[in-house]
């Protein structure tokens, strides 16, 4: 061994078991569905806030 030399380490990942190969795609699909629902809810919330502000402005003008 050289002094100050770089030591090389080999990283070996353990094998993925067949059950994990079955579960992981389902979890990814579920995550994708949840993210889509969240995007939809955020969009609806923004629209409702805009409607609320418009209604408040109309009420303010009438009073």
Cα–Cα distance, 46 to 2 (Å, whole number): 63
The DSSP code for 3 is: T
Whether residue 6 is contained in a domain is answered as: no
Token duo for residue 52 = 């609320």
Closest CA to 35 of 49, 47, 43: 43
3-state secondary structure of 26: helix
Domain count, the chain: 1
Whether residue 27 is contained in a domain is answered as: yes
Task: Name the least confident of 11-15, 19-23, 25-29, 52-56.
Answer: 11-15
pLDDT of residue 17: 86
How far is CA 9 from its chain centroid? Answer: 34
Whether residue 9 is contained in a domain is answered as: no
pTM: 0.55
Whether residue 2 is contained in a domain is answered as: no
Whether residue 41 is contained in a domain is answered as: yes
* Domain that residue 32 falls in: 16-63
3-state secondary structure of 4: coil
Whether residue 29 is contained in a domain is answered as: yes
Whether residue 7 is contained in a domain is answered as: no
């Amino acid at each position: 061994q050289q002094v100050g030399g770089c030591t090389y380490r080999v990283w070996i990942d353990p094998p993925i078991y067949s059950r994990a190969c079955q579960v992981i795609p389902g979890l990814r699909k579920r995550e994708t569905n949840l993210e889509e629902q969240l995007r939809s809810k955020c969009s609806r919330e923004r629209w409702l806030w805009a409607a609320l502000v418009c209604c408040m402005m109309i009420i303010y003008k009438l009073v």
